[in-house]
């Protein structure tokens, strides 16, 4: 695995509880990195000599603001590009938004990605998002906007908010979305989902790591735990075809995972993520160290 990017799930906790969230972010959920854990992973990442970017996300990372800021600056010390993702809850007015961003605006290698769509609020362009965009522009920060398509909306997502381009992405039916949003989705036969459309599981270029040490090649599929084994060793020794969950997903997608373990299933699913996630939920007791942690599966 020639790893390029590490996504820190700084916390599973979030001030919101969005229906589309595939990490089950919630005010009720627990788990947050310590500074020493962050430094440990960053040091391990430098040993690989391939990692160039760090993302800090959640949950909502601004809920643990001092830890988030320190993590960003620690990553910059190691010459990583840093991206911070947020839902902008903190940008209640322009003046305050500038204050919130001040501590991460003084380094050119830090960028901001903001969520703004109908899952996060009542309009595509929330007031908080507009404040955060304007504050970032005043501070000369790199800023982008992430929006998830909303299937039942009659209005379309804007191409720009405050002069900043909006990146529009498909909804993935895993996590809470698999529980809340599949009813109105167009569905296809389960045996059509013969590949993973989003992750290169044979040779991942990015991974997620969570506060409990789990290293995910896709959220909820863990290849080991960095608190038990050095992170650099986990990456260097990755053998996807020896993993009982990952191997069939590489060979034939979620359909092959169902067939390998003869999992009872419905006939139709919203997408590959939906079938994969539903199958993994059934297999969790059989593979508790791989299909982990509980938080990724809505067990609070």
pLDDT one-digit tens code per residue, 55-95: 999 999 999 999 999 999 999 999 999 999 999 999 999 99
Q: If you average pLDDT over residues 276-294, what whole number do you get? A: 98
151 — pLDDT class (breaks 50, 70, 90): confident
d(CA 196, CA 214): 21
Q: If you average pLDDT over residues 130-134, what whole number do you get? A: 97
Does pLDDT of 155 surpass 90? no
Give the chain's mean pLDDT.
96
Does pLDDT of 265 surpass 80? yes
Does pLDDT of 152 surpass 80? no
Choose among 245, 273, 271: nearest CA to 260.
245
Superfamily of domain 5-183+203-229+290-297: Aldolase class I (3.20.20.70)
Does pLDDT of 153 surpass 70? no
pLDDT (tens digit per residue) in 107-118: 889 999 999 999
9 — pLDDT class (breaks 50, 70, 90): very high
pLDDT (tens digit per residue) in 13-51: 999 999 999 999 999 998 999 999 999 999 999 999 999
Q: What is the pLDDT of residue 156?
A: 80
pLDDT (tens digit per residue) in 84-98: 999 999 999 999 999
Domain ranges in the chain are 5-183+203-229+290-297
Q: What is the pLDDT of residue 77?
A: 95
pLDDT (tens digit per residue) in 188-216: 999 999 999 999 999 999 999 999 999 99
157 — pLDDT class (breaks 50, 70, 90): confident
Q: What is the pLDDT of residue 283?
A: 98
């Amino acid at each position: 695995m020639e790893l390029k990017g590490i996504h820190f799930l700084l916390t599973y906790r979030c001030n919101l509880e969005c229906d589309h969230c595939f990490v089950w972010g919630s005010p009720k959920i627990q788990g947050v990195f310590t500074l020493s854990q962050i430094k440990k992973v960053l040091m391990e990442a430098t040993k690989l000599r391939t990692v160039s970017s760090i993302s800090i996300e959640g949950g909502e990372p601004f809920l643990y603001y001092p830890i988030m800021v320190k993590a960003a600056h620690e990553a910059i010390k190691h010459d990583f590009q840093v991206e911070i993702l947020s839902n902008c809850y903190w940008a209640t007015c322009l003046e305050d938004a500038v204050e919130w961003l001040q501590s991460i605006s003084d380094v050119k290698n830090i960028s901001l990605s903001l969520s703004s769509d109908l899952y996060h609020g009542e309009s595509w362009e929330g007031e908080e998002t507009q404040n955060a965009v304007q504050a970032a522009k005043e501070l000369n920060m790199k800023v982008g906007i992430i929006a998830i398509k909303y299937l039942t909306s009659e209005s379309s997502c804007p191409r720009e908010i405050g002069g900043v381009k909006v990146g529009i992405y498909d909804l993935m039916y895993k996590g809470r979305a698999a529980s809340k949003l599949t009813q109105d989705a167009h569905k296809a036969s389960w045996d059509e989902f013969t590949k993973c459309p989003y992750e290169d599981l044979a040779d991942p270029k990015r991974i997620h790591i969570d506060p409990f040490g789990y290293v995910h090649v896709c959220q909820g599929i863990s290849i080991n735990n960095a608190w038990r084994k050095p992170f650099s060793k986990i990456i260097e020794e990755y053998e996807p075809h020896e993993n009982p969950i990952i191997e069939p997903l590489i060979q034939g997608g979620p359909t092959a995972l169902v067939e390998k373990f003869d999992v009872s299933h419905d006939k139709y699913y919203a997408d590959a993520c939906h079938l994969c996630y539903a199958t993994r939920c059934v297999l969790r007791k059989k593979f508790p160290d791989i299909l982990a942690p509980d938080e990724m599966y809505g067990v609070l």
